[in-house]
Amino acid sequence: MPVTPALLDLRGLRVRHHLPDDDGGYRLGEPAPDGVDLVVHTGETVLLLGPSGCGKSTLALATNGLVPHVVGADVDGTVITAGHDVAGHRTPELAADVAMVFQDPDAQVVTATVLDEVCFAPENLCVPADEVLRRAEAALRQVGLWDRRADDPAVLSGGGRQRLALACALASGARLLVLDEPTANLDPAGVEEVYAVLRRLTTSGERGVLLVEHDLDAAASLADRVVVLDGAGRVATEGAVRDVLVGQADRLAALGVWLPTATLAALRLRDAGIVVDPLPLLPAELTAALDALPALPPPSPPSTARTTCRPTAPATSAADAPGPDADAVVRVRDLTVRRGGRTVLDGIDLDVARGELVALVGANGAGKTTLAQVVAGVLRPRRRDLTGSVRVAGLDPRRAAVRDLTTAVGFVFQNPEHQLVTTRVDDELALGLRRRGLPEDEVAARVEDVLRRFGLTHLRDRHPFWLSGGQKRRLSVGTAVVTRPDVLVLDEPTYGQDRERAVELLDLLTALHDDGTTVVVVSHDMQLVAEHATRVVALADGRVVADGTPDVVLGDDDLLHAAGLRAPALARATRGLRDPAWRGVTRLADLPSAPLVGAGA
Ligand SMILES: Nc1ncnc2c1ncn2[C@@H]1O[C@H](COP(=O)(O)OP(=O)(O)OP(=O)(O)O)[C@@H](O)[C@H]1O
Ligand SMILES: Nc1ncnc2c1ncn2[C@@H]1O[C@H](COP(=O)(O)OP(=O)(O)OP(=O)(O)O)[C@@H](O)[C@H]1O
């Protein structure tokens, strides 16, 4: 046991949120977390896992007193942060000791430029001016934002704002970093960079990290210990990373918690009678374990579920992209868009046929959100800022009446808060249907269906504002799905979701797609893209740099690296295998699913 005092020491933490009621008072929500003990020492990274709504963000907010001093709640138990009892200290008094990065980076921006933002915390802590600048520069360089230091934080892309929040935490000098999904909006290259920074910070022995994160392929190699909460907010299990993630993989899977891709793959193989023992944590360990088997059965033929309605020509450059398509439900021609004086989309041509499930991928700032929003008519640039044309189901999204447009295309924002407007979950789902004048019994039936499919029935009368991040995200996807549009455009729909919900959401998108809905989804999760998309369009610097099937685009390592992307975790594990038949297996669904006579170990 380390002899230094803990940076964070939680004993019996139990939080019940104050839920406002109609007569101006409040009632208490269900406890989450519920009686949790958790300790973080200097030099240590502790990973906090658990299904959506179990209280991970609430626990994070309790470490610097935002819960209960700002977010109303009854708190039992004790929280000692860097030796201070949080109950007796306001959040600003703890700022020198604990720095937080929230799930929603927009929640914390306060100044007018990127540089000011990073200087803000150390200035408030009365750090000498030259030291403030030194720390700010170092932090901005570490997250790759030094060149954008004069920009307004509001004009950064989603991933840009996430990097900024992290730079602020680093520059504050606080010894305890509490990071709530710090990489959720980052491109794969950015995730690697951020984890490299965190690794340097913790191995230098000066700081400790409490990390809430779903992307275990990256986090598993950084964290020292894991604490897993169950759905009721109690500690289900804890221990060293490998002991928990690998040693108790079945239990975690049953809780609906994410597992590393390599572990998931091995569990699937085990079901097919191919025993990989011990279970691997990282892609390289899966490679070694499979190579050690006497023989591998052939992988399953690629699953038919993903076959596109209209085969897309494999193409690895914009020039080779599929030609004009008469059936295109989305048609983008030579689209150029300027924002804040900068060209952010540069001559985009893109046809999406009815029934495709297209993933838009690319580095932070590549223009994915801009393209998605222009297609959905959510962003309507001025005439001088846009050239070229866009048609969705025959409509011009810049000019069409909102009512017509929302029948043609549903949009889900990167940040769900931006689109929730009513005071109840069920009203939020009913809103678009009522606006269309649907009969009330039809409205009720569709709302019930979506509540059930998205696991929101028990929260139907909750104010959308008082939901967890994952619950808000499901609600916002639900509002887009409930109107059954021709085209559904989603910006990072799985971020913040536990495994069960993310898989459910993607299965739902796949089902909608099978029913003929065209789906365009912006995603940084290459494994999910590989599993579900029928086509991948990669953007870099506002241009289409690749357009083809997932196998072609995600199999081109040089292209992926140049575009700030990385191969999916399973592809990283299989590409080094001795058995050539297995190289390039990218989808879990393509692993052997039944034992083959005379094959395997
Ligand atoms: N500000 C709030 N007011 C009232 N209830 C809240 C508030 N924030 C969260 N809750 C509720 O508290 C519980 C725990 O939420 P929390 O955000 O801590 O969960 P989480 O584990 O971080 O979930 P996710 O993975 O979905 O982000 C949930 O049931 C949620 O609905
Ligand atoms: N409101 C705005 N004003 C000016 N520039 C903006 C604005 N919003 C975005 N930009 C800029 O447009 C470019 C493309 O941003 P966009 O959000 O489309 O990228 P993205 O590929 O979706 O990135 P991310 O993966 O980080 O979400 C970025 O350089 C960004 O800084």
Shortest-distance ligand to the CA of residue 373:
2
Asked if the model's pLDDT at residue 393 lies above 50, the reply is yes
Tell me the average pLDDT across 261-265: 93
* Residue 477: per-residue pLDDT: 86
Ligand 2 atom 3 nearest Cα: 155
What one-letter code names the amino acid at 219? A
Residue spans of the domains in the chain: they are: 1-97+175-259, 105-173, 263-293+576-590, 355-376+401-567
* Residue 122: per-residue pLDDT: 87
* Residue 414: per-residue pLDDT: 76
- What distance in Å separates the CA atoms of residue 109 and residue 87, rounded to the nearest whole number? 26
Q: What is the pLDDT of residues 68-127, one digit of tens each?
A: 999 999 999 999 999 999 999 988 889 889 999 886 666 667 788 999 999 988 888 888
Cβ–Cβ contacts within 10 Å for residue 232, how many?
Answer: 17
Distance 457 CA to ligand 1 centre (A): 16
SS3 call for 112: coil
The CB of 497 under 6 Å from ligand 1? The reply is no
* Residue 42: per-residue pLDDT: 92
- What distance in Å separates the CA atoms of residue 492 and residue 504, rounded to the nearest whole number? 15
Atom of ligand 1 nearest to the CA of 467: 31
State the CATH architecture for 355-376+401-567: 3-Layer(aba) Sandwich (3.40)
Cβ–Cβ contacts within 10 Å for residue 324, how many?
Answer: 9
Distance 191 CA to ligand 1 centre (A): 25
Give 502's contacts (C-beta < 8 A, 6+ positions apart). 214, 258, 494, 528
Tell me the average pLDDT across 536-555: 95
Q: What is the pLDDT of residues 434-487, one digit of tens each?
A: 988 899 999 999 999 999 988 899 999 999 988 887 788 889 889 988 988 999
Domain 1-97+175-259 indexed as CATH 2.60.40.10: no
Helix axes 469-481, 440-453, angle to 10 degrees: 140
Pocket of ligand 2 (CB under 6 A): 155-160, 185, 187, 339-340, 344, 362, 364-370
- Going by C-alpha positions, the residue among 287, 361, 309, 330 that lies closest to residue 528 is 361
The CB of 469 under 6 Å from ligand 1? The reply is yes
* Residue 121: per-residue pLDDT: 82
Using CA atoms of 400, 404, 410, 415 in order, give the dihedral in degrees to the nearest 10.
60
* Residue 415: per-residue pLDDT: 75
Q: What is the pLDDT of residues 376-392, one digit of tens each?
A: 999 999 989 999 999 99
Q: 1-97+175-259 and 355-376+401-567: same fold? A: yes
pLDDT confidence band for 131 (50 / 70 / 90): very high
Give the pair of three-digit tokens for residue 516: 């003929």
Q: What is the pLDDT of residues 498-529, one digit of tens each?
A: 777 777 778 878 888 887 889 999 999 898 89
Best residue among 57, 181, 495, 498 to mutate for probing ligand 1's pocket (most ligand atoms within 8 Å of CB) is 57
Contact 286, 280 (CB under 8 A): yes
Asked if the model's pLDDT at residue 495 lies above 90, the reply is no
| SS3 assignment for 125-147 | CCCCHHHHHHHHHHHHHHCCCHH
Contact 545, 317 (CB under 8 A): yes
* Residue 253: per-residue pLDDT: 85
The CB of 71 under 6 Å from ligand 1? The reply is yes
Distance 506 CA to ligand 2 centre (A): 25
Atom of ligand 2 nearest to the CA of 539: 21
- What distance in Å separates the CA atoms of residue 566 and residue 563, rounded to the nearest whole number? 9
Looking at 40-49, 187-196, 581-590, which range is the least confident one? 187-196
Ligand 2 atom 16 nearest Cα: 367
Tell me the average pLDDT across 209-217: 90
* Residue 600: per-residue pLDDT: 36
- What distance in Å separates the CA atoms of residue 272 and residue 281, rounded to the nearest whole number? 19
Ligand 2 atom 18 nearest Cα: 367
Q: What is the pTM of this model?
A: 0.85
Q: What is the pLDDT of residues 333-383, one digit of tens each?
A: 999 999 988 999 999 999 999 989 999 999 989 999 999 999 999 999 998
Q: Mean pLDDT score of the chain, rounded to an integer?
A: 87
* Residue 105: per-residue pLDDT: 66
Atom of ligand 1 nearest to the CA of 15: 12
Shortest-distance ligand to the CA of residue 16:
1
Q: Is 384 left (phi over 0), alpha (psi -120 to 50) or beta?
A: alpha
- Going by C-alpha positions, the residue among 173, 118, 183, 115 that lies closest to residue 147 is 115
Q: What is the pLDDT of residues 146-204, one digit of tens each?
A: 999 999 998 888 788 888 988 999 898 899 999 998 888 888 888 888 888 888 888 88
What one-letter code names the amino acid at 530? A
- What distance in Å separates the CA atoms of residue 115 and residue 135, rounded to the nearest whole number? 11
* Residue 3: per-residue pLDDT: 57
